[in-house]
Homo-oligomer: A and B are copies of this chain.
């Protein structure tokens, strides 16, 4: 409870995290403060804010939580049955647009495995066993952390996409739809008479960037497996297709020997091998013939 409130900032946010009533949180924190005879939070109208004393112990509380999670992981790792919980975290776009059929097959093949899919908007901590298997995108040439076992599933490419009808009308300049860290490309210009506006529109999440492109707001850099598969989108003439990074499949050290972790990893691995052309942008999709 202490960690949840410290992280969430409010009692109600912590209650949502722990799936309990917010009154329980209030009284639990109250009991903790009484037991330690120390005020851990300043109760402001805007929420709970850590006091100095509270900040001092947040790290130690994290150690307790981590140890608890590792106990679950160790016990989970001993379980070789093909029933029980199994939590997978992966980027939402991979889940909805690429692997959903694969995951549906897996769930149908092993109905006793309670598969939980966590779209990783925020970074899920695999070390604390908030998930058992993680599919992660590493931009550029990176490597996963040491205490996690990972296999590289291959690279993926991105291209420049725009709504198909904007290629034909060419009425007015279109905007650049960029992620938080992307820059307007300086080494090429859209061919075919397309003009662009000067100031880009930025998006914090790739999903909304994709939806903006579908809505015809402008040109966006998207993974090829997303853009090519969407009949509404087309590649921008002259736009380069470049390798954006690698896809890794990570498992926790304590649980990777588990039967159901192995089964899921094998299935994802096989599926991703089949998806390699789509990931590399080598499949004729909506606008491939224009590239």
- Residues on A facing B (Cβ under 8 Å): 36-38, 52-53, 56-57, 60-61, 63-64, 67-68, 70-72, 74-75, 78-79, 84
For residue A56, which residues in chain B have a CB less than 8 angstroms away from its CB? 74-75, 78
| Chain B residues whose C-beta falls within 8 Å of the C-beta of A36 in the assembled complex | 71-72, 75
**New contact pairs (5) apart from A38-B75, A61-B67, CB-CB < 8 Å:** A36-B71, A37-B79, A38-B78, A60-B71, A63-B63
Chain B residues near A38 (CB, 8 Å)?
Answer: 75, 78-79
Cβ contacts under 8 Å, A63 to chain B: 63-64, 67
Copies in the complex: 2
Closest B residue by C-beta to A38: B75
CB-defined contacts of A37 to chain B, threshold 8 Å = 79, 84
Cα–Cα distance between A53 and B79 once the two chains are bound (Å):
10
What residues on B are CB-neighbors of A78 within 8 Å?
38, 52-53, 56
Complex CA gap A72/B36 in Å reads: 7
Select one of B64, B79, B84 contacting A68, CB under 8 A. Answer: B64
Instruction: List 12 A–B pairs whose Cβ atoms lie within 8 Å, in order of A's numbering.
Output: A36-B72, A37-B79, A38-B78, A52-B78, A56-B75, A57-B74, A57-B75, A60-B67, A61-B67, A63-B67, A64-B64, A64-B68
- Of the candidates B67, B70, B71, B75, the one whose C-beta lies within 8 Å of that of A67 is B67
Q: Are A60 and B53 in contact (CB under 8 A)?
A: no
Q: How far is the CA of A165 from the CA of B289 in the complex (A)?
A: 114
A128 → B minimal CB distance (Å): 12
What 9 A-B pairs are tightest by C-beta distance, nearest first? Answer: A63-B67, A64-B67, A36-B75, A57-B71, A60-B71, A60-B67, A64-B64, A38-B75, A60-B70
Q: Would A60 and B74 be within 8 Å (CB), given that A38-B79, A67-B67, A79-B38 are in contact? A: yes
**Which chain B residue has the least Cβ–Cβ distance from A54?**
B75
Given A37-B84, A84-B37: A71 in contact with B75 (beta carbons within 8 A):
no
